[in-house]
Structure 1
Amino acid sequence: MRGKMSRMTATPSPLVAGVATGTCCTPPPRPAAEPDAARELARVFKALSDPTRVQLLSIVAAAGDDGACVCDLTEPVGLSQPTVSHHLKVLVDAGLLSREQRGRWAYFSLVPDALEHVAHRLQDALR
Protein backbone atom coordinates (compact mmCIF):
# COMPACT_ATOMS: atom_id res chain seq x y z
CA MET A 1 0.00 0.00 0.00
CA ARG A 2 2.84 2.34 0.84
CA GLY A 3 4.30 1.95 -2.65
CA LYS A 4 1.00 2.90 -4.24
CA MET A 5 0.73 5.99 -2.10
CA SER A 6 4.20 7.19 -2.98
CA ARG A 7 3.56 6.68 -6.71
CA MET A 8 0.30 8.64 -6.48
CA THR A 9 1.90 11.57 -4.73
CA ALA A 10 5.12 11.49 -6.72
CA THR A 11 3.42 11.87 -10.13
CA PRO A 12 0.77 14.60 -10.24
CA SER A 13 -2.03 14.13 -12.70
CA PRO A 14 -1.92 16.20 -15.91
CA LEU A 15 -4.98 18.15 -14.75
CA VAL A 16 -3.33 19.17 -11.50
CA ALA A 17 -0.12 19.98 -13.35
CA GLY A 18 -2.02 22.14 -15.84
CA VAL A 19 -3.78 24.08 -13.09
CA ALA A 20 -0.52 24.64 -11.29
CA THR A 21 1.13 26.06 -14.41
CA GLY A 22 -1.95 27.94 -15.58
CA THR A 23 -2.05 26.22 -18.96
CA CYS A 24 -5.34 24.31 -18.80
CA CYS A 25 -7.80 27.17 -19.10
CA THR A 26 -8.21 30.08 -21.43
CA PRO A 27 -9.81 33.35 -20.37
CA PRO A 28 -13.48 33.76 -21.26
CA PRO A 29 -13.98 35.34 -24.71
CA ARG A 30 -16.33 37.98 -23.31
CA PRO A 31 -17.21 39.46 -19.92
CA ALA A 32 -19.86 37.81 -17.81
CA ALA A 33 -23.38 39.23 -17.50
CA GLU A 34 -23.59 42.27 -15.28
CA PRO A 35 -24.66 41.30 -11.73
CA ASP A 36 -27.75 43.54 -11.76
CA ALA A 37 -28.91 42.17 -15.11
CA ALA A 38 -28.31 38.60 -13.93
CA ARG A 39 -30.32 39.21 -10.74
CA GLU A 40 -33.23 40.71 -12.69
CA LEU A 41 -33.30 37.82 -15.15
CA ALA A 42 -33.12 35.32 -12.31
CA ARG A 43 -36.11 36.99 -10.65
CA VAL A 44 -38.14 36.67 -13.86
CA PHE A 45 -37.12 33.05 -14.38
CA LYS A 46 -37.88 32.27 -10.74
CA ALA A 47 -41.37 33.69 -11.27
CA LEU A 48 -41.75 31.48 -14.34
CA SER A 49 -40.34 28.38 -12.64
CA ASP A 50 -43.72 27.50 -11.16
CA PRO A 51 -46.10 25.71 -13.57
CA THR A 52 -49.13 27.45 -12.04
CA ARG A 53 -47.60 30.85 -12.79
CA VAL A 54 -46.92 29.83 -16.38
CA GLN A 55 -50.57 28.76 -16.68
CA LEU A 56 -51.77 32.04 -15.17
CA LEU A 57 -49.53 34.05 -17.49
CA SER A 58 -50.95 32.15 -20.45
CA ILE A 59 -54.57 32.70 -19.37
CA VAL A 60 -54.02 36.41 -18.75
CA ALA A 61 -52.22 36.81 -22.09
CA ALA A 62 -55.16 35.14 -23.86
CA ALA A 63 -57.56 37.58 -22.19
CA GLY A 64 -56.10 40.43 -24.23
CA ASP A 65 -56.26 44.12 -23.40
CA ASP A 66 -59.30 43.79 -21.13
CA GLY A 67 -57.31 41.67 -18.72
CA ALA A 68 -58.46 38.80 -16.57
CA CYS A 69 -60.22 39.09 -13.24
CA VAL A 70 -58.66 37.16 -10.40
CA CYS A 71 -62.12 35.67 -9.80
CA ASP A 72 -61.91 34.01 -13.24
CA LEU A 73 -58.44 32.58 -12.68
CA THR A 74 -59.04 30.31 -9.70
CA GLU A 75 -61.07 27.61 -11.46
CA PRO A 76 -58.69 26.99 -14.41
CA VAL A 77 -55.76 26.34 -12.07
CA GLY A 78 -57.79 24.69 -9.29
CA LEU A 79 -56.47 26.87 -6.49
CA SER A 80 -58.01 29.20 -3.93
CA GLN A 81 -58.28 32.92 -4.61
CA PRO A 82 -55.60 33.86 -2.02
CA THR A 83 -53.16 31.37 -3.55
CA VAL A 84 -53.86 32.62 -7.08
CA SER A 85 -53.44 36.21 -5.87
CA HIS A 86 -50.06 35.29 -4.42
CA HIS A 87 -48.92 33.79 -7.72
CA LEU A 88 -50.18 36.84 -9.61
CA LYS A 89 -48.28 39.17 -7.26
CA VAL A 90 -45.06 37.29 -8.04
CA LEU A 91 -45.72 37.78 -11.77
CA VAL A 92 -46.47 41.48 -11.22
CA ASP A 93 -43.29 41.91 -9.16
CA ALA A 94 -41.31 40.24 -11.95
CA GLY A 95 -42.64 42.84 -14.41
CA LEU A 96 -44.66 40.40 -16.50
CA LEU A 97 -48.18 41.40 -15.46
CA SER A 98 -49.85 44.65 -14.46
CA ARG A 99 -52.65 44.90 -11.90
CA GLU A 100 -55.66 47.22 -12.04
CA GLN A 101 -58.28 47.50 -9.32
CA ARG A 102 -61.84 47.68 -10.69
CA GLY A 103 -64.25 48.01 -7.82
CA ARG A 104 -63.91 44.99 -5.61
CA TRP A 105 -61.91 42.90 -8.10
CA ALA A 106 -58.36 43.01 -9.38
CA TYR A 107 -57.75 42.59 -13.09
CA PHE A 108 -54.44 41.50 -14.55
CA SER A 109 -52.96 42.18 -17.97
CA LEU A 110 -49.76 41.19 -19.70
CA VAL A 111 -47.28 44.05 -19.63
CA PRO A 112 -46.83 45.12 -23.28
CA ASP A 113 -43.65 43.64 -24.76
CA ALA A 114 -42.67 42.10 -21.39
CA LEU A 115 -41.78 38.72 -22.84
CA GLU A 116 -39.85 40.25 -25.74
CA HIS A 117 -38.00 42.45 -23.26
CA VAL A 118 -37.02 39.39 -21.20
CA ALA A 119 -35.84 37.58 -24.34
CA HIS A 120 -33.67 40.57 -25.34
CA ARG A 121 -32.19 40.86 -21.84
CA LEU A 122 -31.34 37.15 -21.92
CA GLN A 123 -29.71 37.48 -25.34
CA ASP A 124 -27.72 40.50 -24.13
CA ALA A 125 -26.56 38.62 -21.04
CA LEU A 126 -25.37 35.70 -23.16
CA ARG A 127 -23.45 37.81 -25.67
Structure 2
Amino acid sequence: MSSSRAAWCSAGRPRGAQHKEYREYKAVKAHFRRAMRRCGEQFMTELDHKLEYDSVHDSVSFWWTVNLRKRGSGADIGGGINFDGNMYRSREKITEQWAKYFKDLYTPSSSPDFDSHWEYVVRQEVKEQT
Protein backbone atom coordinates (compact mmCIF):
# COMPACT_ATOMS: atom_id res chain seq x y z
CA MET A 1 0.00 0.00 0.00
CA SER A 2 2.82 2.40 0.82
CA SER A 3 4.33 2.12 -2.67
CA SER A 4 1.02 2.97 -4.35
CA ARG A 5 0.54 5.90 -1.98
CA ALA A 6 4.08 7.09 -2.70
CA ALA A 7 3.36 6.89 -6.45
CA TRP A 8 0.13 8.85 -5.96
CA CYS A 9 1.92 11.49 -3.86
CA SER A 10 4.79 11.82 -6.34
CA ALA A 11 2.21 12.38 -9.10
CA GLY A 12 0.97 15.42 -7.16
CA ARG A 13 -1.92 13.65 -5.37
CA PRO A 14 -4.37 13.98 -8.25
CA ARG A 15 -8.07 13.47 -7.54
CA GLY A 16 -10.66 11.81 -9.73
CA ALA A 17 -11.12 8.49 -11.49
CA GLN A 18 -9.48 9.82 -14.66
CA HIS A 19 -6.06 9.65 -12.98
CA LYS A 20 -4.34 6.25 -13.04
CA GLU A 21 -2.36 6.80 -9.82
CA TYR A 22 -5.50 7.83 -7.95
CA ARG A 23 -7.44 4.74 -9.11
CA GLU A 24 -4.57 2.40 -8.22
CA TYR A 25 -4.07 3.96 -4.80
CA LYS A 26 -7.79 3.80 -3.98
CA ALA A 27 -8.01 0.17 -5.17
CA VAL A 28 -5.02 -0.88 -3.04
CA LYS A 29 -6.38 1.06 -0.06
CA ALA A 30 -9.80 -0.61 -0.40
CA HIS A 31 -8.13 -4.03 -0.65
CA PHE A 32 -6.12 -3.26 2.51
CA ARG A 33 -9.26 -2.18 4.41
CA ARG A 34 -11.07 -5.37 3.35
CA ALA A 35 -8.11 -7.48 4.49
CA MET A 36 -8.00 -5.65 7.84
CA ARG A 37 -11.75 -6.15 8.27
CA ARG A 38 -11.40 -9.87 7.50
CA CYS A 39 -8.56 -10.18 10.02
CA GLY A 40 -10.62 -8.44 12.68
CA GLU A 41 -13.61 -10.66 12.01
CA GLN A 42 -11.41 -13.76 12.07
CA PHE A 43 -9.86 -12.68 15.38
CA MET A 44 -13.27 -12.10 16.95
CA THR A 45 -14.53 -15.47 15.66
CA GLU A 46 -11.48 -17.24 17.11
CA LEU A 47 -11.95 -15.38 20.39
CA ASP A 48 -15.62 -16.43 20.50
CA HIS A 49 -14.66 -20.06 19.91
CA LYS A 50 -11.93 -19.86 22.57
CA LEU A 51 -14.36 -18.37 25.09
CA GLU A 52 -16.96 -21.02 24.28
CA TYR A 53 -14.43 -23.81 24.73
CA ASP A 54 -12.85 -22.29 27.85
CA SER A 55 -16.21 -21.65 29.51
CA VAL A 56 -16.75 -25.41 29.57
CA HIS A 57 -13.21 -26.79 29.88
CA ASP A 58 -10.96 -24.17 31.50
CA SER A 59 -12.63 -21.62 33.74
CA VAL A 60 -9.34 -19.96 34.74
CA SER A 61 -8.46 -19.20 31.11
CA PHE A 62 -12.05 -18.14 30.44
CA TRP A 63 -12.10 -15.55 33.23
CA TRP A 64 -8.58 -14.37 32.41
CA THR A 65 -9.68 -13.69 28.81
CA VAL A 66 -12.95 -12.04 29.87
CA ASN A 67 -11.23 -9.76 32.38
CA LEU A 68 -8.51 -8.87 29.89
CA ARG A 69 -11.12 -7.88 27.29
CA LYS A 70 -13.26 -6.08 29.87
CA ARG A 71 -10.52 -3.73 31.04
CA GLY A 72 -9.73 -2.30 27.61
CA SER A 73 -8.58 1.27 27.30
CA GLY A 74 -11.55 2.78 29.08
CA ALA A 75 -12.11 5.13 26.16
CA ASP A 76 -15.60 5.42 24.77
CA ILE A 77 -15.07 6.71 21.27
CA GLY A 78 -17.98 8.84 20.22
CA GLY A 79 -19.45 8.67 23.70
CA GLY A 80 -19.20 12.39 24.26
CA ILE A 81 -17.33 14.45 26.80
CA ASN A 82 -18.16 15.29 30.39
CA PHE A 83 -18.13 18.94 31.52
CA ASP A 84 -19.10 19.72 35.12
CA GLY A 85 -20.98 16.44 35.50
CA ASN A 86 -22.99 16.86 32.28
CA MET A 87 -22.41 14.68 29.21
CA TYR A 88 -22.29 16.48 25.86
CA ARG A 89 -22.34 14.56 22.58
CA SER A 90 -23.04 17.04 19.78
CA ARG A 91 -20.18 18.92 18.17
CA GLU A 92 -21.87 22.27 18.82
CA LYS A 93 -22.45 21.62 22.53
CA ILE A 94 -18.90 20.32 23.00
CA THR A 95 -17.52 23.41 21.25
CA GLU A 96 -19.66 25.66 23.45
CA GLN A 97 -18.40 23.92 26.58
CA TRP A 98 -14.75 24.22 25.50
CA ALA A 99 -15.33 27.93 24.80
CA LYS A 100 -16.86 28.34 28.25
CA TYR A 101 -13.96 26.43 29.83
CA PHE A 102 -11.31 28.62 28.20
CA LYS A 103 -13.27 31.80 28.92
CA ASP A 104 -13.46 30.82 32.59
CA LEU A 105 -9.80 29.85 32.54
CA TYR A 106 -8.71 33.25 31.27
CA THR A 107 -11.19 35.38 33.20
CA PRO A 108 -9.59 37.33 36.06
CA SER A 109 -10.25 35.77 39.40
CA SER A 110 -9.76 36.67 43.01
CA SER A 111 -7.21 33.89 43.37
CA PRO A 112 -3.89 34.98 44.89
CA ASP A 113 -2.17 33.07 42.06
CA PHE A 114 -3.78 35.24 39.36
CA ASP A 115 -1.11 36.94 37.24
CA SER A 116 -2.43 40.38 36.26
CA HIS A 117 0.76 41.22 34.37
CA TRP A 118 0.27 38.19 32.12
CA GLU A 119 -3.34 39.26 31.54
CA TYR A 120 -2.09 42.67 30.42
CA VAL A 121 0.45 41.11 28.03
CA VAL A 122 -2.18 38.85 26.49
CA ARG A 123 -4.67 41.71 26.10
CA GLN A 124 -2.02 43.79 24.31
CA GLU A 125 -1.23 40.89 21.96
CA VAL A 126 -4.93 40.43 21.17
CA LYS A 127 -5.34 44.17 20.49
CA GLU A 128 -2.39 44.07 18.08
CA GLN A 129 -3.88 41.09 16.23
CA THR A 130 -7.32 42.65 15.78
Q: TM-score range by the shorter chain?
A: under 0.3
Q: Which has the higher helix share?
A: 2
Q: Which has the higher strand share?
A: 1
Instruction: Find the structure with the greater CA-based Rg.
Output: 2
User: Structure 2-normalised TM-score?
Assistant: 0.19
With a CA cutoff of 8 Å and minimum separation of 6, indicate the structure with the bigger relative contact order. 1
User: Structure 1-normalised TM-score?
Assistant: 0.20
